[in-house]
């Protein structure tokens, strides 16, 4: 028996594991730092009371992150297939610092929309996610779904910790000083975490797969796995996105206690984070189609429960399940991208994430346009049912 060979193999595996953790753990910390975007909702009451910003301006700051993410992630994915991951991450932290500096020094509705929301947390958040995903995929290529799920889950878990902190700070020191303090600390935390990540070369997917890695975003979008994946994401996200907007008011309109309304939003947030984590790992083990089937099942179950909320417990359960479905569609993105375009997975991730962003954008609009619950639950559930048809079409086209 070759004992020496076994010892070398064990040491090699330990070295690879250590190197992977040097990338993955700091990457999760960086994503957590960019989760500051969730704290805006906590300071809105203070903004309206003391600064009298209009609802339109406040909503614009809300939407600025999604707008910046949606535009930035397509470009960021393309860049991540061509440049070293750490370079992209430092660019993102630089945008974060610039956006924070302008918004915090000159706090107006315009500066908060353009610099805080759109540039720092939107475009910067998109670029850092693409860079961190490329870095994680380099050290753990067979666990890309797990990496993507963990990164997006870390971003979502930020709301659980940062929102209570900024709420208390805003009450004690004012909302702008609260965001200045938390934002500055998170930016420094992100920079410190990046210093730990070792240098990682730019990807070589095209050479590894023997395909044309110079495909443009449009060329990628025309591929069957990409456009069907885009539609899957665009039909899976709307109901969950709308539930975040309406759950508290819906619970109150049904005359449930205030704590039920409050915890329904918390339940959706928890489900969102857990859904991202679990579906990312599950996609590595069970494949895309089975995981998406479970995601759509969760979405339809949440719609059924929301249509029949016999008790406060049912509302809380529906919120958790809706969050799981919503988060699941984000957690599965990295594995979906890797299987859809092995020669350009990061570019594919950007396009597929745009589908998810589109779903989160139009879901609340459609829900409000049809008059809100209960009609909205029927309409958005119907969109998810169409997603099941797209899933069947994708399986047939790629058989």
Which range in 191-195, 210-214, 345-349 is most confidently predicted, on average pLDDT? 191-195
Q: Which residue has the higher pLDDT, 363 or 88?
A: 88
**What's the mean pLDDT in 361-368?**
84
pLDDT over 50 (residue 1) = no
Give the residue range(s) of CATH 1.20.1250.20 domains in the chain.
15-203, 213-399
pLDDT over 50 (residue 10) = no
Q: Which pLDDT does position 388 carry in this prediction? A: 95
Q: Which pLDDT does position 305 carry in this prediction? A: 94
Helix axis angle, 124-139 relative to 144-173, nearest 10°?
Answer: 140
Residue 13's pLDDT band (boundaries 50, 70, 90)? very low
Q: Which pLDDT does position 3 carry in this prediction? A: 40
Q: Which residue has the higher pLDDT, 285 or 263?
A: 285
pLDDT over 50 (residue 11) = no
pLDDT over 90 (residue 164) = no
Number of alpha carbons in the 13 Å side-chain half-sphere of residue 22: 15
CA atoms of 240 and 357, how far apart (whole Å): 12
pLDDT over 70 (residue 204) = no
**What's the mean pLDDT in 120-146?**
89
**What's the mean pLDDT in 201-223?**
67
Q: What is the pLDDT of residues 322-350, one digit of tens each?
A: 999 999 998 899 889 889 988 888 888 88
**What's the mean pLDDT in 156-179?**
87
> Across the chain, what does the average pLDDT equal?
85
pLDDT over 90 (residue 165) = no
pLDDT over 60 (residue 368) = yes
Q: With contact defined as beta carbons under 8 Å apart, do 92 and 128 qualify?
A: yes
What DSSP assignment string belongs to 344-368? Answer: SHHHHHHHHHHHHHHHHHHHHHHHH
Lowest model confidence (mean pLDDT) among 35-44, 182-191, 216-225: 35-44
pLDDT over 90 (residue 239) = yes
Question: pTM of the predicted model, to two decimals?
Answer: 0.80
CATH architecture of 15-203: Up-down Bundle (1.20)
CA atoms of 382 and 385, how far apart (whole Å): 5
**What's the mean pLDDT in 40-50?**
80
Percent of the chain with pLDDT over 90: 40
Spatial CB neighbours of 303, under 8 Å, sequence gap ≥ 6? 239, 377, 378, 380, 381, 384
- Please give the CATH superfamily to which domain 213-399 belongs: MFS general substrate transporter like domains (1.20.1250.20)
**What's the mean pLDDT in 254-273?**
82
Residue 298's pLDDT band (boundaries 50, 70, 90)? very high
CA atoms of 381 and 29, how far apart (whole Å): 35
Q: Which pLDDT does position 115 carry in this prediction? A: 96
CA atoms of 204 and 17, how far apart (whole Å): 22
Lowest model confidence (mean pLDDT) among 226-235, 244-253, 315-324, 364-373: 244-253
Q: Which pLDDT does position 205 carry in this prediction? A: 55
Residue 168's pLDDT band (boundaries 50, 70, 90)? confident
pLDDT over 90 (residue 62) = no
């Amino acid at each position: 028996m070759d004992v020496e060979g076994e010892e070398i193999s064990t040491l090699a595996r330990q070295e690879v594991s250590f190197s992977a953790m040097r990338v993955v753990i700091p990457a999760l910390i960086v994503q957590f730092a960019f989760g500051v975007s969730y704290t805006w909702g906590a300071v809105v009451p203070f903004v309206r009371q003391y600064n009298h910003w209009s609802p339109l301006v406040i909503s614009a700051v809300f939407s600025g992150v999604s707008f910046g993410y949606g535009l930035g992630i397509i470009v960021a994915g393309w860049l991540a297939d061509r440049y070293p991951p750490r370079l992209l991450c430092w660019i993102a932290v630089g945008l974060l610092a610039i956006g924070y500096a302008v918004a915090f020094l000159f706090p107006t509705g315009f500066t908060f929309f353009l610099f805080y929301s759109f540039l720092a947390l939107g475009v910067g958040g998109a670029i850092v996610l693409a860079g961190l995903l490329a870095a994680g995929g380099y050290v753990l290529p067979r666990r890309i779904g797990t990496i993507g799920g963990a990164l997006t889950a870390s971003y979502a878990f930020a709301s659980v910790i940062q929102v209570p902190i900024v709420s208390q700070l805003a009450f004690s020191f004012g909302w702008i000083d609260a965001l200045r303090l938390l934002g500055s600390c998170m930016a420094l935390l992100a920079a410190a975490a990046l210093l730990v990540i070792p240098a990682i070369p730019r990807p070589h997917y095209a050479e590894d797969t023997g395909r044309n890695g110079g495909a443009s975003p449009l060329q990628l979008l025309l591929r069957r796995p990409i456009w069907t994946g885009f539609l899957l994401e665009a039909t899976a996200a709307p109901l969950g996105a709308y539930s975040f907007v309406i759950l508290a008011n819906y619970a109150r309109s049904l005359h449930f206690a205030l704590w039920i309304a409050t915890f329904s939003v918390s339940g959706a947030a928890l489900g969102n984070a857990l859904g991202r984590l679990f579906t990312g790992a599950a996609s590595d083990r069970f494949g895309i189609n089975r995981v998406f089937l479970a995601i759509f099942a969760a979405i339809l179950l949440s719609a059924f429960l929301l249509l029949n909320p016999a008790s406060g417990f049912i509302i809380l359960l529906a919120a958790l399940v809706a969050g799981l479905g919503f988060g699941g569609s984000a957690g599965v993105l990295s594995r979906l991208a890797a299987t859809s375009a092995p020669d350009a997975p990061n570019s594919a991730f950007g396009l597929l994430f745009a589908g998810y962003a589109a779903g989160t954008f139009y879901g609340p609009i459609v829900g409000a346009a049809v008059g809100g619950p209960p009609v909205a639950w029927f309409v958005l559930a119907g969109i998810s049912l169409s997603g099941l048809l797209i899933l069947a079409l994708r399986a047939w086209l790629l058989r």
